[in-house]
Each structure stands twice: as C-alpha cells, then as structure tokens.
A and B are shown apart, each in its own frame.
Chain A
Amino acid sequence: MDKLPAWADIVLVPLISLLLAAVISAIVILAIGQDPWEAVRVMVQGALGSSYGWGYTLYYTTSFIFTGLAVTVAYHASQFNIGGEGQAQIGGLGVALVCLAVPWPHWTLALPAAMVGAALFGAAWAAIPAYLQAKRGSHIVITTIMFNYIASALIVYLLVEVLRPAGQMDPATARFPAGAALPTFKDIPGLNLIFDKKVPANVTFFIAIAACFAVWILLWRTRLGYQIRAYGKSERAAIYAGISPVKVIMIAMLISGGLAGMMAINNVMGEAERLLQNSAEGAGFIGIAVALMGRNHPLGVFLAALLFGFLYQGGAEMGLWTSIPIELRLLLQGLVILFTGALDNMVRMMLVPFFRNRAKEAA
C-alpha cells in the first residue's frame, strides 16, 4: 500500500474521519426531518457559547482525558483495553470508600487520598485481565469486556446491599463529607471571574492536564515507557533486548487501569459527591474514540477529549433544545470510532491518489 506523509497520517486522517462522521450524521439528521445547521448551532452555543457551557464541556473533557490516556498507555504496550468503563466504576468505589471512611477536614487532604484510592481500585480491576493475558494468553479484549459487566454487577450489589444508607431509596452511597468537596471552577480564585455560576468542572481538570504531561513523560522520557513502547512495537525485538513481556503487559495495564480509575475523582468526588450506579456513563468507551482520534499521544488525547467534551455537552444541549434525540451523540461517537479505528485504511486510500499526484507534480 502506498504510504502517506507522516503529517497526513497524524493530522489529515483523523480530520477526514471526523468530517466523514459529521457528514453522515448530518445526513441522518436530515433523514429524520431535522435541520443539521440548527443542530450545529445549538451544539456550539450550548457547549462553547457561555462560561456555563464551558463548565460542562471541560468537565466532560476531564473525564475523557483520563479514559483516553488509559487506552493510550495500554495501546503502546499493544494491549487494547476496553475495560476503562469498569475500571472507572471501580475507581469510583475506591474514591467513595476513601471519602466516606474519614471525616475529611479539607479537600487538599482528601484529594490525594482519593486519588490513591481511585488509582489502586482501577488498577486492581485491570490486574486480572492483564495477568490472564500475560500469563495465560486470554484475549484481553474479551476479558476486559467481561470485567465491565462484572464491575457494574458488583457496584449494584454494593450500593444496594452495603453502601446505601438506611432509609435512602435510590441505590447510592451517602453524600461525602463537606470536607471532601472539590472546588469547582466557581470556587477557584481567578477562574471565578469567568465562571460565576456553579459548574461541574473542578480542580480535577488540572490533575487531568498533569496526567497528560505525566503520561508523556512516562512514555517518552522514562525507561519504563521505553520498554513499553519497544514491546508494543515488536515483541520479538523486545525479547532480544531482554524486556520481559509479562512485566510490560502487567505494568502497562496497571497504569492504564489506574488512569481509568482516576476519572472517578472528577465525576464521583468532584461532581456527584456520592457514588451512583453507572457512574462512568460510557466515558470508558469514549476513551477509545479519544485515544484513536488523538493518535495515542497525550497532546492528541487532550485535544480529542476537548472535542468529545464539546460533542458530549453539545449533544446534551441538542437533546434539550431541539427535537433531535440526544442519541445522536452515540451515533457520532460510533462513526468517529469506525472511521478512525476500523476504516482508517479506507480513509488513507482515499487520500493516497491526492498525494501521488502531488508527488508526481513535484518530481
């Protein structure tokens, strides 16, 4: 197959994929008798048109950064972690246990503890599939899917039978103590000038950015990252270099699960302030799209998470203010994953003739 220049592969292919997804979505909107332009307008206005909208967009972005990074780290070790959803939910359990165990006096103390809880629980949930892959060759994609379901059953059980306070009807934990409440953008000096209303975006956003940076350091600056990437590129070469496949798979998946779990800081601790059923709300799956769009690079993940934060918030607004159902964003999401992850060769082939002509002209 003809090759594309690297920049086209990194920038153009995702953009074209996005464009294709958008065009098809627009056709679907037309087909159900609605106005695509109106949809776009409502989405942009609702997600980016006000500080309030941004407060939501950035909140979702934060979640998607974590799950996107989770997929990214695993990807570099050539592991496809579809278990972000379950890992994020179990991470939420970790957060809830930490937050409820101690009457936290101040969030600055609660946050680090909750982060540890989230990461440990998320990592633990990734550990079994990782071990089975590394040691017994059980396909990690299937096991992580199974673990998503097991996670949600476990959470339901715990919420209904164990963690629900007496007398409460809905399956949820008690509210976290006030000392564990994370400052939202409205509470942060400086930012409160822009965000004058209560928005869900909170300090976790900055932790997410730090996580992007940390993942970048990990993958491209540390020995461990070097080994992860080397193993991911070529198992045979890794063995020649004395890199242990079992170790790399385990560590990469534990980091991946930990990152997915950390997402819970944002939604469970920062927003809901209690653990609910299905707390991850599909963010684990969106992480796949984010990582694919972001070409498995933290910077790309950040940008793609922003895009998906926009789509998610914009989609919700669209569901609210137009008669286009909110499910359009599932469609869009599916299309983006399809074009960037599965039909990427098709997109490339569409571009090849263009570059071939240009190469000829140049010659």
Chain B
Amino acid sequence: DPALIYDLGGKFDKSFNEAAYGGAMRWVEETGGSYKELEMQSEAQREQALSRLAESGANPIVMTGFAFGDVLNSVAPEYPDTKFVIIDMVVDQPNVRSIVFTEEQGSYLVGMMAAKASKTGTVGFIGGMDIPLIRKFACGYVQGVKAANPDAVIVQNMTGTTPSAWNDPVKGSELTKAQISQGADVIYAAAGGTGIGVLQTAADEGILSIGVDSNQNHLHPGKVLTSMVKRVDNAVYESFMAGEAVEPGIAVMDLAAGGVGFAMDDNNAELVSEEMKAAVDEAAAKIIAGEISVHDYMSDNTCPVE
C-alpha cells in the first residue's frame, strides 16, 4: 500500500495538507485501494514516522513538506527497496522522487488579480514560516501585483520562524487586522492552517482574501477572491497511481503542466470581472509561452521587486 505523511499543519488544514489528502481520496475512489496515513505532531517524530512506515512495507511513501528533507536523506538509504516521494523539497537519493512547484508563477497570477480587485491600492501578503519557500510565494505575488498596478503598496508579514507558524490561526487573524489597518483590502495567505484565521478575519472584516494550495474559495463564498492552487493533490494522486514504479528524480510541476494556477468557481464568479479574468488568462498564456518570466526567489535568494 502507498502511504502519506502530513506535515505539522495537520491533515485538515484546509490548505496544503488537505490538498494532499484530496489527492489520496481521489485515488481511493478511483482504485478502491487503501493507504496508510500519518500526521506529524512534533519535529522529533519525523524520522520515526518515516522508518515505521517503511518498515511496515508501505510503498511508495509520500510526504508533504520541506521539513522532511533532512530525515529523508538519512532514512531513504536504509530502505533502498522503498520509494519515497517528497513534495516541496529536493532530496538527492536514488529511491526518492522530489516534486517541486513553480509557486512564483501561480502567485504572480493571483497577485495580478489582487491588484485589480483592490480599491485602496494596498494589498497584503501573510506568509507562514519565514523560509525561502514562502518568500518564493511572496516574490511571485509582488511581481504580479506590480505588473498590474505599478503603484500598488504591498504589506508583507510572516507568521513566525518555527513550524508552529503553519498552524496559528489566532496570529493569522491578528496579522490580518493589522494589515487591514494599514489599508490592505486584499490579502493573500500562504500560511497553511494559519491561513484559516486570515480568511476568516478577512471575511469578518469585509475585505477580500486569496487562499492557497487547495481551492479555498468555498470557505467564505463571495469573500475569497481566488485561491492559488498548487496541485499537491495531483502530485499525490499520480504518485499513488504509479505505485512502486514511481520514478525517482526531480519533477517540476509548473503552470504549463497544470501544477499551479488560480481557482475559479461559483463562489468567486461574481468577484472576478471579465476584464480581470482576461488579463490574468493572458498573462498565464505568456508565462507558459515564456514571454513573461517570473523570478524564482529560491534561485538566488533575492527578489527583484519589493
């Protein structure tokens, strides 16, 4: 059986981990198969979780989150016959498939939408744990905002410096209020479970928010502008489908491959004007065509625009 390990935010974070869960469920529905899953409770459990699943014969073992990188590096050689799939991190081992996303591209698109939807000209970004990966989100977002409105002001906050930043809705909510008081009227939350608090408060306070990873539009219908979907579900689904034959190496899920994008559905139909949609679609096409290149923060740990 395949197995899936969720990171600290937990399976039902309505975001990153829940997307992975969705992929697994899709696989279950289609194949009728069963899989094992595990939620991390603490940093120190990662190694045990990995080796225990490997020990139990699970194959492949999919894990969500960069934080598994270090332990996977040491566990993978112990179980050469087991295939591991890690999302959001590159681990160079012969039996590991590393899946990474071009979050900067998706963030660019929702950034454009944010700039267009904003009435105040100020938009916000709330990140989870302050790590290069999340800065990558932020950088793409900023580029998109500036592309749509070069005069826009962007307020940025990170929730924290430890993994608990992924699961701190109270802090998310307070940061949202702070950004609103600074004039932000569209806020993009790239913060896992913390984002629940961001979206909630944005809805309460009557401004727009942008979800992340999963399609979060339904959480507050008519209040969530869109979601930067990162098809973690597809990554999990495909890995499960491939089973033990999953191919080691690095897989980049980009806009062209449908790995990232923005969500449109009934819940946000009224928020997105024809014009806005057309502009974003056009930008997407240009990115795919290579006419627009969105800078990847992690390529040089800097962002060209602030």
Contact = CB atoms under 8 A, between A and B. Distances in A.
Contacts, number: 63
Contacts of A281: 42, 44-45
B78 A172 contact: no
B36 A175 contact: no
Interface string B13-54: 000000000000000000000001010011111011001110
Interface in A237-282: 267, 271-274, 276-279, 281
B131 A316 contact: no
A169 B66 contact: yes
Contacts of B132: 169
Nearest to B55: A52
Contacts of B66: 169-170
Interface residues of A, number: 30
B139 to A, nearest CB: 16
Contacts of B133: 169
A171 B161 contact: yes
Interface string B41-82: 111110110011101100000000011011000100010000
A180 to B, nearest CB: 14
Contacts of A197: 55
B162 A156 contact: yes
Nearest to B71: A272
Given A171-B162, A276-B43, 4 more contacts: A56-B48, A156-B161, A156-B162, A170-B43
Interface of B: 36, 38, 41-45, 47-48, 51-53, 55-56, 66-67, 69-70, 74, 78, 131-133, 161-163
Interface of A: 52, 56, 156, 159-160, 168-172, 175, 197-198, 200, 267, 271-274, 276-279, 281, 316-317, 319-321, 326
Q: Which 10 A-B pairs have the closest CB atoms?
A: A169-B131, A276-B43, A160-B161, A170-B67, A281-B44, A277-B43, A169-B66, A198-B78, A171-B162, A278-B42
11 contacts: A156-B162, A169-B131, A170-B67, A171-B161, A172-B43, A200-B48, A272-B44, A273-B74, A279-B43, A317-B52, A320-B38
